[in-house]
A and B are shown apart, each in its own frame.
Chain A
Amino acid sequence: MSIKINHLKHVYNAGTIFEKTALYDINITIQTGEFIGLIGHTGSGKSTLIQHLNGTISPTEGEILLDDENIHKDKAKLREVRQRIGLAFQYPEHQLFEMTVYKDVAFGPSNMKLSEQEIDKRVREALQTVGLSESVYEKSPFELSGGQKRRVAIAGVLAMNPEVLILDEPTAGLDPKGRDEILYAIKKLHEKRGITIILVSHSMEDVAKLADRLIVMEKGRVAMTGTPKEVFARVEELEKIGLAAPQISYVLAELKQKGYDLPNDIYTVEEAVKALYTLLKGEEKL
């Protein structure tokens, strides 16, 4: 399923003194199975953009095509669109409300009026995917740790079996362990189920590691798109708009300046480890 965004413009509070244009003329196409990293400074329009994708806000101008069909053409179909494009907001654990973890995850599928067996299947699957064991199913979501709560909330969206999953800073405010657990679950989802993922993030490390393609937003416009390597190669431009390349690339740049022979395009720790290892092994031989 492809998503096509054509000349999207969004103005908040149009016609009042509080008027603010959040997006100007956005054109993006997202293919099935892609893993997109959406990066940009606070207030660059990332959140506004992703809320358009599942129709929670409507464009001031332009259109969003889902398989060549405008999602706002038929209001009755919006619910179907929201089911196909799952959106987990920032701090999704703030939306938990049920008595038990199981019931909260079941909220989405039961709104789809599925059979009880189907709901049960989906809830279990979703909770397994995010790596929560059966021992927490009957616990209150409010008893869990921050990372667990967030995984319950993401499972709530997953249980609707979306074809596209949009996550707005899923790791914000979590400890390193919680962060790794969430990112691992997302990676697994993309690899095993082939779900299209759009990950909004402030962490260059995370998107460098996970995304196939990056979209960089600045002041309501798309500033760059390309593979992580292509985007991070333009580090000066990134720094100008308040972003940066992953930290490891700065470490390698310093090493290169000191005269070590290292490749230019390394943006993840894993790659860096490999490159340094080869370098050291080479030196040993000499």
Chain B
Amino acid sequence: MIRDITIGQYYPVNSPIHRMDARVKLIITFLFIVTLFTVNTFLGYLFVVLCMAAVIKTSKVPLKFMLKGIKGIFIIIAFTAFINVFMTRGENILFEWGIFTVTTEGILIAIKMCIRLVLLVIGSSILTLTTTPIQLTDAIEYILRPFKKIGVPAHEIAMMMTIALRFIPTLLDETDKIMKAQQARGADFDSGNLLQRAKSLIPILVPLFISAFRRADELAMAMEARCYHGDENKTRMNVMVLKQSDYKAIVILVAYCIALIVLRFATTRYFII
């Protein structure tokens, strides 16, 4: 049940996408998200979906894992669809009731919005499923490095993220264990009204917080025992180097962006929906 959350769930297979430099993957994902907002036609979305399908195929991660993330934002998608269907003003009114009007435009926008959200989630899932959290934070640190001059603590941010990500599975396991132990003492988490259910969380949350603090304490001690003192003069075990395949990926990315721009102008000119 708790295991359904995909964030930070690296899927360990060996694929060209897995082997790519994390910095390149991060930038590609960022640009993918930004450029997704320029797409406004079904033809454009078809193109994006096809490109994405190709990437998923290359990554060797089963589609099931990619789609897992959508479950988590299902409510947001449903809510977006609802708002767009009922609140968009348009000319082709299909149905009207009080402040709610359903128009053809509204339905089309709702569908497009949902596609966009789904693509956003899958796009970022590709990144997290093919990149270990450690590689990812290393990449973030590297990308934030230029901002150090204006006082952005790049290394500290990256270290905090690494630690946070590292402890997600640990704390999930811990939660699972605590829940089982309290169930063994007759605790009941899924019946009763809202207040009773909220109350039934106390026997889980208190031990969980205590254990999180204990772990934090122990970790800080262990880091200090190994002479950790931040970024200064720190060398790396894994030095990131761009490979030929990474340059290829960058070329493909540029081509993808150009294609999107061309599509955008072409579709506006010829009024394709």
Which B-chain residue is minimally distant from A91 (CB atoms)? B177
Q: CB-CB contacts of B183-196 with A at 8 A, as 1s and 0s?
A: 11111100000000
Which among B183, B184, B210 has the highest number of chain A CB atoms within 10 Å? B184
Which among B12, B186, B188, B206 has the highest number of chain A CB atoms within 10 Å? B186
Contact partner of B185 (CB less than 8 A), chosen from A57, A94, A157, is A157
Interface of B is mostly: helix
Q: How many residues of A contact B (CB 8 A)?
A: 26
Q: CB-CB contacts of B170-202 with A at 8 A, as 1s and 0s?
A: 000000011011111111100000000000001
Interface size class of B (residues with CB under 8 A): 20 to 34
B11 proximal to A (CB < 8 A)? yes
Within the complex, the shortest CB–CB distance from A35 to chain B, in Å, comes to 20
**A160 contacts across to B, CB distance below 8 A:** 185-186
A45 proximal to B (CB < 8 A)? no
Contact partner of A95 (CB less than 8 A), chosen from B11, B182, B188, is B182
A17 proximal to B (CB < 8 A)? yes
**A179 contacts across to B, CB distance below 8 A:** none
Known: A51-B180, A92-B181. A108 touches B186 (CB 8 A): yes
Which B-chain residue is minimally distant from A156 (CB atoms)? B185
**A223 contacts across to B, CB distance below 8 A:** none
A227 to B181, CA, bound (A): 30
A54 proximal to B (CB < 8 A)? yes
Contact partner of A79 (CB less than 8 A), chosen from B177, B180, B188, is B188
**A89 contacts across to B, CB distance below 8 A:** 177, 180-181, 184
Question: B207 touching A96 by the CB < 8 A rule?
Answer: yes
**B259 contacts across to A, CB distance below 8 A:** none
| B binding-site residues for A, Cβ under 8 Å | 3, 11-13, 177-178, 180-188, 202-203, 206-207, 210-211
- Listed by A's residue number, 14 A-B pairs whose Cβ atoms lie within 8 Å are A56-B180, A56-B183, A56-B184, A57-B180, A79-B186, A89-B177, A89-B181, A95-B178, A95-B207, A96-B207, A108-B185, A111-B188, A157-B184, A157-B185
Q: A79-B186, A89-B184, A95-B181 are in contact. List 7 more A-B contacts (CB 8 A).
A: A57-B180, A92-B181, A94-B177, A95-B178, A96-B207, A107-B186, A160-B186
